[in-house]
Amino acid sequence: MAKFIKYAKQILLPRAAVIKKKLKKALIKRVLAQEPEIDYPELRPGDVKNAELFANRLSMVEAFRPLLQGKRIAELGVAFGDFSEFLIKTLEPRQFFAFDTFILHHIPILWRKPSTEVFGDMTHREYYAKRFSKSSVPVVIEEGDGSTNLLRYPDKHFDMIYVDAAHDYQSVKRDAEISKQKLKDDGILIFNDYIMFDHYAVTDPNANVWYGIVQVVNQLVVNDDFEVIGFAFKKDMFCDIAVRRRKSHAH
C-alpha cells in the first residue's frame, strides 16, 4: 500500500496544471478509501507453466481457434458487439450466445460520445440484434442479468465463455462460479480487464474504480484447480487472461 500511495501522489491527472491541489488530494483519498479488503492467493509457478503470452486479445483468440472452431461460444457483456463480431468471424461457432443487460441506450454519454450517436432511435438490444441479423452463425440474445440467464442453460454446455460484465468483486465472483458450472470440462474461460484498478475512472465520483477480476481469477486457479493458458496484453494494461481446468481433472 505504501508504494501505491507514493505512486498515486505522483499521478499527473488530465489538465493537472489547472486542477487545484485540494482536488487532487481528495481524488487520491477517495480512491484509497474504497480499496476492498479481499483475501486472495498469488499465482504459483505451476499455475502458469502452460501459459502463452500474446500481444493482444485478438491474437489470443486466434490461437485458440483450433480448440474452439465450430463450438458453443458465450460472451457475458457484449456492449456494441465489436468483440462479438470478432469472435464470430474468427471462431465460426456452432452457436453464439450474447448475454447483456442491454441498457446502454439509457446512458447519455458512452465512451465520450452521445449514445444517440451510436443507437439512433433504437434500443441497445435492437441495435445489437440488427447488427447480427444477417449473421451466418446463429446468435442467441439473452437480455437481463447475465449470470441469472446463464443458469438456465445445462451444465457443461459451453466451450468458451468470455466474461466482461460488471467488474466489482461480488459480480465477477458470481459470474465465475456460474460460468465454471456451465463450461465443458475442457472449456476455456477468458476474463477481460485483469487489473486491480480502473485508472481512467479516478476523476469520476460515481465510478467504482476498484475491480475484482484479479482476485476472482487467482481464487479460481488456486482453489478450483484451473490453470492459466493465455495472457493477452493491452497497452493500457486492461489485459485478458484465459484459464481452463487442469487436464488431470478434465473428464
> In the prediction, which pLDDT does 178 show?
98
Mean pLDDT over residues 70-75, rounded? Answer: 98
pLDDT tens column, 100-123 = 999 999 999 887 789 899 999 999
Tens-digit pLDDT profile for residues 29-64: 555 556 668 999 999 999 999 999 999 999 999 999
Write down all domains in the chain, each with its CATH number in brackets: 1-33 (no CATH), 44-245 (3.40.50.150)
The most distant pair of C-alpha atoms in the chain lies apart, rounded to whole Å, by 60
List, as one string, the DSSP characters of 64-75. THHHHTTSEEEE
pLDDT at 190 over 70: yes
pLDDT digits (tens, 9 = 90+) for 129-168: 999 999 999 999 999 999 999 999 999 999 999 999 999 9
| Distance between start and end Cα atoms, the chain | 42
CA quadruple 25, 29, 32, 34: dihedral, nearest 10:
-140
Q: From edge to edge, which strands make up the β-sheet containing 139-143?
A: 52-54, 226-232, 240-245, 183-191, 158-163, 72-76, 95-100, 139-143
User: Look-up: residue for cell 492467493?
Assistant: 41
In Å, what is the CA distance from 136 to each residue of 95, 97, 98, 208?
Answer: 10, 14, 15, 38
Distant-in-sequence contacts of 240-243, Cβ < 8 A, 24+ apart: 240/57, 240/60, 240/190, 240/191, 240/192, 240/193, 240/194, 241/190, 241/191, 241/194, 241/217, 242/60, 242/64, 242/188, 242/189, 242/190, 242/191, 243/188, 243/189, 243/190, 243/191, 243/217
12-21, 93-102, 166-175, 213-222 — which is least confidently predicted? Answer: 12-21
